[in-house]
Amino acid sequence: MMKKIIMVLFGLTICFLFKNDNKEILIPDNAIRFRVIANSNSINDKLEKKAIKKEIEKEIYSLIQNDRTNQEVNETIINNMGEIENIVKNYNVSYKLNYGLNYFPAKHYKGIIYPAGNYESLVITLGEGMGDNFWCVLFPPLCLIEESEEDMGEIQYKSYVKEVLDKF
């Protein structure tokens, strides 16, 4: 009897997950994004982009960890642009640093819609900016799932994103 109950509950859980999997999740317009564009697609330029991205992400998350609104995050980033710029300067590479409205192309990733448009964002263009780019959403704080997303299936990824969005 207990096995039947467990099997029924397991079946219902799977059905629930697949039912929710068909719903599109839309990142809100007031999201704050982060983008680092590599100089080129050479191995060295890609490694440099990744190192800068990782260091800046760590700095920003330590700064915004207690912020609860996009306005608070916006003010924190603006007030700390000097620290962010110092991180990039340490890499001795030419760069452009822009915080404000920047264009992002549409992206549909693992059931999440990231519509094209101009978004409040921190964009760092390294050198000529002709390489592949990294980007994520700083607020609501979705960048952190980038580190472990390879291990996440689509359902798990969407569930996590929905949970974060519901908090904010």
Give the pLDDT confidence of 109-120 residue by residue, as tens digits. 777 778 888 999
- In whole angstroms, give the CA distance from residue 2 to residue 4: 5
For the chain, the C-alpha Rg in angstroms (whole number) is 19
| Beta strands 112-114; 25-26: pairing state | parallel
- Judged against a pLDDT cut of 90, whether residue 11 lies above it is answered with no
9-27 average pLDDT score: 53
Q: Which residues contact 116 (CB under 8 A, 6 or more apart)?
A: 103, 104, 105, 106
Mean pLDDT, all residues of the chain = 81
Mean per-residue pLDDT, 130-142 = 88
Identify the band that residue 13 occupies on the pLDDT scale cut at 50, 70 and 90: low
At residue 129, φ and ψ (nearest 5 deg) are: 65, 35
The 10s digit of each residue's pLDDT in 52-73 is 999 999 999 899 989 989 999 9
Is the CB of residue 125 less than 8 Å from the CB of residue 99? no
pLDDT of residue 4 exceeding 80, the answer is no
Percent of the chain with pLDDT over 70: 71
Q: Which residue has the tokens 């960890």?
A: 65
Strands (E), the chain: 25-26, 32-37, 95-104, 107-109, 112-114, 117-126, 133-139
Number of domains in the chain: 1
- Band of pLDDT at residue 15, cut at 50, 70 and 90: very low
* pLDDT of 38 over the 60 cut: yes
Q: Which domain holds residue 141?
A: 2-167
What per-residue confidence (pLDDT) applies to 150?
Answer: 54
Q: d(Cα 122, Cα 99) in Å, to the nearest integer?
A: 4
Highest mean pLDDT among 42-46, 131-135, 145-149: 42-46
Query: What is the predicted pLDDT for the residue at 30?
Result: 86
Confidence band for 27, pLDDT divided at 50, 70 and 90: confident
